[in-house]
């Protein structure tokens, strides 16, 4: 078997065999197939597509390129969630302790932010001492002990994905359905969870711009996971405005803590309860999402979810004094509010622009190796549909640099469209796929 023949076959739109896909993925992972051959193959896959069978084989080959975790001896059902990435998406910080507090073990590996989307790993690292580089053994041990782990992606899981993802980024082959599906699902399969809830974002602040596009992706992943023996469901959720109010790492941790204390923004709380309810249902802990929602509300109200979050921080080396008193979390030097420039209804908030404003403040990264300033960010005070009064605070900026603060001011103002026509609020979810 030769790599060049496999490239030619895909180039000509033919279906690759399981053996050919395995040969290519494993050869590339081991460095026997060079980057340039993988790059040509990725472009051929991008332009010619893959059948469901090929996508499944690709996902399996990528999952099997490294260690495959088996969590069955830790717990009969371990649940995981995956978000396709958004602006202000701190859902994992709330949902993981809520579900774990309901008695369902949550073992989650998560990513760093890139571009306008934030990453849960970066957010957790706002908490001094918090470790996100657990080994596989530490992962298992902590999952067994407290039923909750949220850590960074292990280098041993799906190494093919790491190599291919870096290459896709440099070769304009990111936005391909089979490549996105296999990238996400190979990591999830290797991570060992038995039930996986997908939270696929759609809108200006997401990679997917339409509900149709997001649904196709979600359906492909749900089907693939189910065929490989996982319990799967997907929510298609709105990302046309930031989720909650806060965008920026420490600011989002604070907001998540508020929700765990029965506070925080309504949209975020509601979003988290729905996701938690679906995860509890998938795991078989409750009969349906209505019961799941009740149980989730209960563990927030009785403080168990908060205690679980605190246990998570403690187990991973974080200093709990910083979450017990969130005022101690990293704070920016300049905190300034931006007044609404006019009376009217908030008709649009460009979530990607808000995300990019935070990146520019130093709170995100344009390139993988960029450092992160955990203290900076943007807090929006209104959602689409709200009526605002000229001169009242529209947004609060948290910055450590005056020049950047001024740039962020321009950017967040441009991101808000205020008009005299009333508009309805945006939905939280568009549909569920199971």
Nearer to its own copies, 43 or 220 (CB): 43
- Nearest approach in angstroms of CB 32 to its own copies is 13
Q: Checking DSSP bridges between strand 393-399 and strand 334-339, what pairing results, if any?
A: antiparallel
Q: Do 210 and 200 meet the contact criterion of CB atoms below 8 Å apart?
A: no
Residue 15 contacts its own copies per CB under 8 A: no
d(CA 337, CA 321): 28
Question: CA 327, 329, 334, 336 torsion: positive or negative?
Answer: negative
Separation CA 127–CA 110 (nearest Å)? 16
Q: Which of 316, 346, 246 is nearest to 96 (CA)?
A: 316
Residue 20 or 278 with smaller CB distance to its own copies: 20
8 in contact with its own copies (CB under 8 A): yes
Q: Which of 17, 18, 156, 171 binds its own copies (CB under 8 A)?
A: 171
**What is the spatial distance between Cα 209 and Cα 125, in angstroms, rounded to a whole number?**
30
Query: Distance between CA atoms of 154 and 133, rounded to whole angstroms?
Result: 7
Catalytic residue among 162, 187, 194, 404: 187
Smallest distance from the beta carbon of 168 to its own copies, in angstroms?
A: 9
Q: Is 261 a catalytic residue?
A: no
From the list 18, 26, 27, 48, which residue makes contact with its own copies (rule: CB under 8 A)?
48
Give the nearest distance from C-beta 164 to its own copies in angstroms.
11
Name the packing angle between helices 304-315 and 136-146 (round to 10°).
Answer: 150
Which of 55, 173, 182, 204: binder of its own copies (CB under 8 A)?
A: 173
**Six-digit token string for 207:** 């990679």
Report the nearest approach of its own copies to the CB of residue 174 (Å). Answer: 9
**Does 38 engage in binding with its own copies (CB under 8 A)?**
yes
Q: Is 40 in the site for its own copies (CB under 8 A)?
A: yes
Catalytic residue chosen out of the listed positions 90, 123, 168, 194: 168
C-alpha dihedral (117, 120, 126, 132), degrees to nearest 10 = -130
Per the CB < 8 A criterion, the answer to whether 94 and 306 are in contact is no
Q: Are 105 and 77 in contact, with CB atoms under 8 Å apart?
A: yes
Instruction: Count interface residues toward its own copies (CB under 8 A).
Output: 25
Give the helix ranges, DSSP H, for 243-283. Answer: 249-260, 266-282
Indicate which single residue of 16, 21, 25, 42 sits in contact with its own copies (rule: CB under 8 A).
42
Residue placing its CB nearer to its own copies in the complex, 42 or 247: 42
Q: Which is nearer to its own copies, 370 or 406 (CB)?
A: 370
Active site includes 168?
yes
Catalytic amino acids?
82, 161, 168, 183, 187
**Residues found near its own copies in the complex (CB under 8 A):** 4-5, 7-8, 11, 34-44, 46-48, 167, 169-173
């Amino acid at each position: 078997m030769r790599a060049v023949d496999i490239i030619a076959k895909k180039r000509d739109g033919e279906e690759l065999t399981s053996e050919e896909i395995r040969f290519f993925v494993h050869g590339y992972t081991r460095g026997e197939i060079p980057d340039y051959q993988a790059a040509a193959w990725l472009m051929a896959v991008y332009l010619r597509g893959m059948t469901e069978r090929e996508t499944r084989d690709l996902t399996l080959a990528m999952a099997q390129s490294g260690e495959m975790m088996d969590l069955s001896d830790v717990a009969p059902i371990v649940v995981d969630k995956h978000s396709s990435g958004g602006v202000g998406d701190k859902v994992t910080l709330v949902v993981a302790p809520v579900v774990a507090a309901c008695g369902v073990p949550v073992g989650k590996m998560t990513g760093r932010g890139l571009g306008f989307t934030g990453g849960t790993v970066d957010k957790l690292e706002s908490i001094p001492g918090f470790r996100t580089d657990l080994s596989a053994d530490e992962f298992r041990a902590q999952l067994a002990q407290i039923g909750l782990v949220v850590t960074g992606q292990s280098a041993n899981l799906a190494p093919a994905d790491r190599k291919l993802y870096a290459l896709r980024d440099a070769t304009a082959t990111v936005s391909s359905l089979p490549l996105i599906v296999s990238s996400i699902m190979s990591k999830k399969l290797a991570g060992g969870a038995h039930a996986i809830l997908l939270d696929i974002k759609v809108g200006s602040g997401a990679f997917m711009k339409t509900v149709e596009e997001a649904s196709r992706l979600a359906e492909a992943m749900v089907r693939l996971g189910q065929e490989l023996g996982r319990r799967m469901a997907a929510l298609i959720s709105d990302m046309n405005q930031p989720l909650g109010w806060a965008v920026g790492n420490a600011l989002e941790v604070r907001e998540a803590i508020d929700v765990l204390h029965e506070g925080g923004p309504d949209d975020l709380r509601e979003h988290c309860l729905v996701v938690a309810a679906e995860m509890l249902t998938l795991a078989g802990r409750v009969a349906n999402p209505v019961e799941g929602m009740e149980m989730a509300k209960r563990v927030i109200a009785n403080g168990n979810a908060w205690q679980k979050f605190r246990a998570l921080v403690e187990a991973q080396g974080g200093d709990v004094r910083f979450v017990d008193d969130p005022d101690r979390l990293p704070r920016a030097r300049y905190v300034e509010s931006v007044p609404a420039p006019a009376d009217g209804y908030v008709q649009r908030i460009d979530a990607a622009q808000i995300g990019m404003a935070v990146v520019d403040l130093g709170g995100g990264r344009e390139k993988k190796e960029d450092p992160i300033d955990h203290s900076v960010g943007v807090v929006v005070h209104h959602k689409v549909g709200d009526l605002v009064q000229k001169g009242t605070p529209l947004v609060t900026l948290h910055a450590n640099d005056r020049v950047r603060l001024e740039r962020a001011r321009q950017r967040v103002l441009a991101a808000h469209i205020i008009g005299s026509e009333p508009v309805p609020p945006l939905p939280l979810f568009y549909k569920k796929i199971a």
